[in-house]
Amino acid sequence: MSDLLAIADLGRDTLSHLLDLAERSALGRPLAGEGVALVFQKPSARTRNSMEMAVVQLGGHPVYIQKEEVGLGTRESAEDVARTLACYHRIIAARVMDHRDLVAMSAAVETPILNMLSDSDHPLQALADLLTVKQLLGRIEGARIAYIGDGDNNVARSLAQGCALLGAELVIASPEGYGLSDAPDGVRQTHDAAEAVRGAEIVYTDVWVSMGQDGEAEARRRTLAPYQVNTALLAACPDAHFLHCLPARRGEEVAADVIDGPRSAVWRQAANRMHTARGALAWMRGA
Residues annotated as catalytic are: 95, 122, 125, 206, 245, 273
In terms of Cβ atoms closer than 10 Å to its own Cβ (0-12, 13-18, 19+), residue 97 is middle
What does residue 169 show for φ and ψ, rounded to 5 degrees? -95, 100
Min dist CB 247 to ligand NVA, Å, is 7
Binding residues for ligand CP (CB under 6 A):
44-47, 117, 125, 245-247
Q: Is residue 171 near ligand NVA by the rule CB under 6 A? A: no
Q: How far is the CB of 70 from ligand NVA (least distance, A)?
A: 20
Selection from ligand CP, ligand NVA, none that 153 binds (CB < 5 to 8 A by kind) is ligand NVA
Minimum distance, C-beta of residue 135 to ligand CP, in the bound complex (Å): 17
Site for ligand NVA in 104-143 (CB under 6 A): 117
Q: Mask of contacts with ligand NVA, 190-209, x by CB under 6 A?
A: ----------------xx--
Asked if 50 is part of the footprint of ligand NVA (rule: CB under 6 A), the reply reads no
| 245 counts as binding ligand NVA under rule CB under 6 A | yes
* In the complex, residue closest to ligand CP by CB: 47
Contact 274, 50 (CB under 8 A): yes
Given ligand CP, ligand NVA, none, residue 45, with its beta carbon under 5 to 8 Å by kind, binds ligand CP
**Is the CB of 36 or the CB of 117 nearer to ligand CP?**
117
Report residue 95: phi and psi, to 5°. Answer: -110, 115
Q: What CA–CA distance (Å, rounded) separates 183 from 252?
A: 25
Which CB, 90 or 220, lies closer to ligand NVA?
220
Distance CA 72, CA 32 (A): 28
**Which CB atom, from 224 or from 245, has the smaller least distance to ligand NVA?**
245
Instruction: Choose the stretch contacting ligand NVA; rule: CB under 6 A; options: 21-29, 148-156, 181-189, 226-234.
Output: 148-156
**With contact defined as beta carbons under 8 Å apart, do 155 and 127 qualify?**
no
Residues that bind ligand NVA (CB under 6 A): 117, 153-155, 206-207, 210-211, 245
